Structure 1
Amino acid sequence: MIGKEENDKMKSNRNHVEDTVENNLKETLLRERASVTLEAAIILPIFCFLFMALNGVFFVFSAQNQVMHTLVQTANSLSLDPYWNEKIRLENTSVSTILQRFERYAVRDQSFSSAESWHKNETVSSGVLEDRFYSYFTGDGNKLSAYTKLKKLGVVGNMELSGTVNNGDLTLVAKYKMKFWFNLFKTEPLDLSQKVKVHLWGLEDY
């Protein structure tokens, strides 16, 4: 009888110890699980915020690249106007006329070239500059499409385009304001300015 009681007591103690260990293990797992949940609740919003902020910065860079690419195309195109309108016209008027008519009427948008002698002035006329820029920016010269595209890129208001001629060099400047795609702190739009400088073809003879 005594042996049986001792066995039962030992068995009871063992079960008690096992229950205690199991309960402690469960409590530890619950605490760790709660800790992981709390860490995820803190880190995940921070990660999302940083990701969206970084994406907004990349969005600004992408918009600047598109504007700069269009500005370079516009400058290169305008740099050919003096040679086209002055040198070829003087050397061979008939050939110049044929080429100009073919070039201006073969394409749907006639803003890719201009017969205006803007290069004889110190500044490029706003009409010629804007028409050429928006033609390269959209591909069809539709200003409404250009404004819509600029707005989608984050440009606020109108873009200010200017061009100056000095010693045979053409300088184009594009100034505009741009907002961040993700603007949590409601910061003011960025004041951006991009500039391109090219040499005018054929202008040295005039």
Structure 2
Amino acid sequence: MGMVRWTGLALLPLAAVAHAQAIKSEPEMRIFIAAEVEAVAMPNLAYTPDPTIAADFDKYFFFHRDGTDFDRAYADITECDSLASGIDFYMGGNDAIMQNAIMQYGAAGAIGGAIGGLMADAIFGSAERRRIKRVNLRNCMFYKGYDRYGLEKDLWQAFHFEEGLSRENAKDREAALMKQARVASGPKPQFEVLEP
């Protein structure tokens, strides 16, 4: 069985191997001048931790990595945000399932399933998409070596955004990501590091 796997991999055309390697490359890093970095206001992170606030740290958090400059932090946060935002969640549906429904139940069954899926997405889809984005963002930033810290909700909302069934506009997204990079590359937070 193992030999079949290796034989199959050995027969991949070079173009496929080159394409697979291209997927691994990181986006080009944007270089900021000092004046651009200084123009990004450092968000307020001061609050008094308590159990009520800590109960929401799975939703409201920020990242920091010692020794990271603004350019690198911005590149990392932008990449992780893109990956986390671009991963679609279809409540378990895909083309194969849709084709199976059409074959088994006819077009009416497929239409009914699609309507049911849309209704389920409308009921709890937005919250679930936000949860999945947070998990993916945390995993990506952890992989890049960032620590995660909890934050009080109102302070978090000053430099973050939540997306459910719609996407944040580009200008507001850019402003929030710049502030997140400022925090991620700024002074080390005095709070307890959270689990990834």
When normalised by structure 2's length, the TM-score is 0.29
TM-score under structure 1 length normalisation: 0.28
Normalized per residue, which structure has more helix?
Answer: 1
Structure with the higher fraction of residues in strand conformation: 1
